[in-house]
Amino acid sequence: MTRRMTSQSTAHVERAVLVQVVHSQMDPDEAADSLLELERLGKTAGLTIATQLTQRRPRPDGGTLVGSGKLEELKALFAHTEANTLLVDNELSAIQAHNLGKQLGVKILDRTEVILEIFARRARTAEAKLQVQLARLEFQLKRIPVTESQQRFKGKANVRGPGESHLHLRNEPLRRRVAELRKKITAIQNRQTSRDAEKRQWPIVSLVGYTNAGKSTLLNTLSGAEAYVDDKLFATLDTKTRKVWLSSTHQILVTDTVGFIRNLPHSLVASFKSTLDIASQADLLLVLVDATYPHVDEHIDICRRTLREIGAKDVPQLLILNKCDHGTENDEIHELSARYPDALCISARTGFGLEQLKHAITNALKKHSDMWRLPPAIDPMPKNEYPM
């Protein structure tokens, strides 16, 4: 979203004001955490955060989300900070987005739009790019507002009915493109499923969890691979699969895919279904969370709710508390492991707890996976690859 200009001119920087309405159905602590997360999302998308504004009210205003008083306050903030973008933590309706843009004269983005922008930047494979296109088009179809100019055409002579609306005519090309993208994604998914069925010789363990919890780092450490890692939300979107040796006679396939986040747009869940289906088809899920995060319990709950949404709640799971760099010596991590006694404390960065994790994976697969009961595939373990 940040545009590069010539060296003779000043670069255009998108400066954003963050706004959040905390209504009666929201938990204040979760709302505060959500606003901090939105700030990170904005920075990941290339925005400079100028300031923020929070309003508490029984319910969001139907026309502008914030109401007339806060709207005037926002106008003053934009004048003072010279910001040019409003980044909203709440989900905006089409009419709210339209009215805010008209009143403030700046670009309006809500949480869904900034996540879509990040996904568009992070997509690398053909499938991921198509999935992002599909999600954006579906968002556009939902967001196009009905204005006074969108009146129905009058029917011609001897033709009943008011005819087609401007909105319908505007949406029709988008709907055709949506149908086309869905066919392309389905074709890619079918080809991939066919290849996977032919090649699959080992159990599949899928890394899932909250974004930026360290899934790619763990994949690299377990497999010795070099998957892209960055300290940003949604650093990677594309599925990566690597072989990992659990012992001198058994190996598994470990997959890593897009991270979860609170209020993950349903359009993205639907569009990335073929990618997320990997979790529902796995023999075992490693649910990874950042043990050092202040609201880690909420992250665990979000992971479990997302797994239910994508149809993976019945897949055997191991809860992994990552970033325990000093074991459980930290009081907060010690209390967390006491609340989740079946969870494993590890550090993907330092290697702490990874041998225990391998043993736990082995025991879970012996119990739950038919693939584990097959004779090991003939693929000799390279020397010095195990143990790590």
CATH of the domain at 38: 3.40.50.11060
How far is it, in rounded angstroms, from Cα 328 to Cα 340?
A: 13
pLDDT at 159: 46
- Residue partners of 333: CB distance under 8 A and separation at least 6: 291, 292, 321, 324, 327, 345
72: left (phi over 0), alpha (psi -120 to 50) or beta: alpha
* Secondary structure (H, E, C), 336-374: HHHHCCCCEECCCCCCCCHHHHHHHHHHHHHHHCCHHHC
Amino acid at position 216, single letter: S
How many domains does the structure of the chain reveal?
Answer: 3
pLDDT at 266: 66
pLDDT at 362: 92
pLDDT at 331: 82
How far is it, in rounded angstroms, from Cα 89 to Cα 66?
A: 12
Domain shared by 62 and 184, yes or no? no
pLDDT at 150: 45
Question: Which CATH number goes with the domain that contains 359?
Answer: 3.40.50.300
Q: Are strands 15-22 and 344-345 parallel, antiparallel or unpaired?
A: unpaired
Domain membership of residue 132 as a residue range: 124-146+164-199
What sign does the dihedral 113-115-116-120 (CA atoms) show? Answer: positive
Walk along the chain (388 residues) in steps of 10 and give the mean pLDDT of each run. 38 85 87 90 91 93 92 94 94 91 94 87 80 86 63 45 59 89 83 59 88 88 68 63 83 84 72 71 93 90 88 92 81 88 93 93 86 53 44
In a domain, 309, yes or no: yes
Two structure tokens written together for 233: 């939300």
Domain shared by 336 and 307, yes or no? yes
Amino acid at position 91, single letter: E
